[in-house]
């Protein structure tokens, strides 16, 4: 696998080896800044880049249970099997998003659980070992049917907005159709439903954070200065909240992420991204879309931490604890 690497550093995607990271920014299709693709310590969750030739080699390796094309047993077969065995129960929301059951769907695709880096499903009675990948404007999907010695992989580059078809839905509809053909089944998707998938069976709009059309000013429960401070997570580092007195707003800094915290009626703050991540909040021209919100954790007389929460509950909150004792931290501008 000579064309696969994890070096998604600034500038890497500007060469001929990479598809371009297109995004929607305020209603316009544009080539995104490559800086967000360097995700540091969380690289194992999305920093690997490859091409179809290498992915074919990888699928063959997995289907051959750890054996190289020259016959060398690089990894024990028992180890490969262990990777596929479910060990982590999935959140109910994620299972609902992934499963397809009668009578809502014309076929069954049952989630069994999550192993060591692999999801396990049973699709139309066949074991399906799979994983998906996505980082901003890149999305990919890999399916393995070990009992049938079949592997499928598809990837796409391109943006999404709050009201457009999800790139992952495009990948799923394509793999469902191709999988049925190679497995000898009658495809349950056709030209029409392949394009509208997951409609008419499921409307994904109900799960997409809606644009925020409420521009009414909200006053937080506590003075803005109380929220300012340095919060820390051992995985991703410092979440710095500062008060800009000139604008009467809270600003945040998390590695390459800059943004503004917008008070919401439920007591949380919507995270309005700025700079290279602006496209996450402003894919559309007029209405912001808050993919994340900040929920501050109140102690006896001050805030002890803050949770960075996805608007859609796909992952648990990322908690940052307050840092004490650093007099050099400036929390007001």
Contacts of 34 (CB under 8 A, 6+ apart): 10, 11, 12, 13, 14, 21
| 327 has a pLDDT exceeding 50 | no
Least confident range from 65-69, 180-184, 186-190, 216-220: namely 216-220
66-113 confidence digits (pLDDT tens)? 999 999 999 999 999 999 999 998 888 888 888 999 899 999 999 999
- Residue 306 and residue 153: Cα distance in Å, rounded? 38
> Which of 42-56, 60-74, 76-90, 155-169 shows the lowest per-residue confidence on average (mean pLDDT)?
155-169
Confidence of residue 325 (pLDDT cuts 50, 70, 90): low
Residues 6+ apart with CB under 8 A from 155: 52, 133, 138, 139, 140, 141, 171
Cis check: omega of the bond before 36, within 30 degrees of 0: no
Q: What is the DSSP letter of 67?
A: B
By the 8 A CB rule, do 170 and 156 touch? yes
Provide mean pLDDT across the span 149-174. 83
What mean pLDDT do residues 41-67 have?
89
Q: How far apart are CA 92 and CA 96, in angstroms?
A: 6
Residue-wise pLDDT for 194-224, tens only, equals: 999 999 998 877 766 666 666 677 899 999 9
257-312: per-residue pLDDT in tens? 999 999 998 899 999 999 999 998 888 887 788 888 999 999 988 999 999 998 77
Question: pLDDT value at position 18?
Answer: 83
Task: Give CA–CA dist 239/332, Å, rounded.
Answer: 15
- Mean pLDDT, the chain, rounded, equals 87
pTM, to two decimals: 0.83
pLDDT of 9 reads 57
* Higher pLDDT, residue 188 or 9: 188
Which of the pair, 215 or 229, is modelled with greater confidence?
A: 229
- Which domains does the chain carry? 12-207 (3.40.710.10), 224-322 (2.40.128.600)
The structure tokens 């809270």 sit at 250
The predicted structure's pLDDT at residue 305: 96
d(CA 97, CA 223): 39
């Amino acid at each position: 696998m000579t064309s696969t690497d994890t070096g998604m550093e600034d500038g890497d995607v500007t060469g001929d080896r990479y598809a371009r990271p297109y995004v929607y920014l305020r209603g316009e299709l544009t080539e995104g800044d490559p800086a967000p693709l360097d995700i540091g310590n969380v690289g194992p969750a999305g920093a690997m880049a490859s091409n179809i030739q290498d992915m074919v080699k990888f699928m063959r390796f997995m289907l051959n249970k750890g054996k190289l094309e020259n016959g060398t047993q690089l990894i024990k077969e028992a180890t490969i099997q262990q990777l596929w065995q479910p060990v982590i129960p999935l959140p109910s929301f994620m299972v609902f998003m992934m499963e397809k059951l009668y009578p809502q769907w014309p076929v069954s695709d049952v989630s069994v659980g999550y192993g060591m880096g692999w999801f396990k499903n049973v699709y139309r009675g066949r074991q399906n070992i799979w994983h998906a990948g996505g980082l901003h404007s890149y999305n990919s999907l890999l399916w393995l049917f070990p009992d049938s010695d079949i592997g499928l992989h598809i990837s796409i580059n391109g943006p999404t907005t709050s009201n457009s078809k999800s790139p992952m839905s495009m990948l799923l509809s394509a793999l469902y159709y191709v999988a049925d053909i190679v497995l000898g089944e009658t495809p349950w998707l056709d030209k029409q439903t392949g394009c509208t998938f997951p409609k008419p069976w499921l409307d994904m709009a109900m799960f997409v954070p809606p644009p925020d059309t409420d521009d009414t000013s909200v006053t937080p429960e506590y003075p803005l200065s109380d929220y300012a401070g340095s919060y820390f997570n051992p995985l991703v580092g410092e979440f710095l909240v500062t008060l800009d007195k000139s604008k009467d707003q809270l600003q945040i800094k998390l590695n390459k992420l800059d943004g503004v915290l917008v008070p919401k009626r439920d007591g949380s703050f919507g995270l309005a991204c700025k700079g290279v991540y602006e496209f996450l909040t402003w894919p559309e021209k007029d209405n912001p879309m808050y993919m994340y919100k900040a929920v501050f954790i109140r102690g006896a007389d001050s805030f002890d931490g803050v949770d960075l929460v996805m608007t859609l509950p796909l992952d648990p909150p990322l908690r940052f604890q307050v840092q004490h004792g650093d007099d050099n931290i400036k929390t007001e501008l």
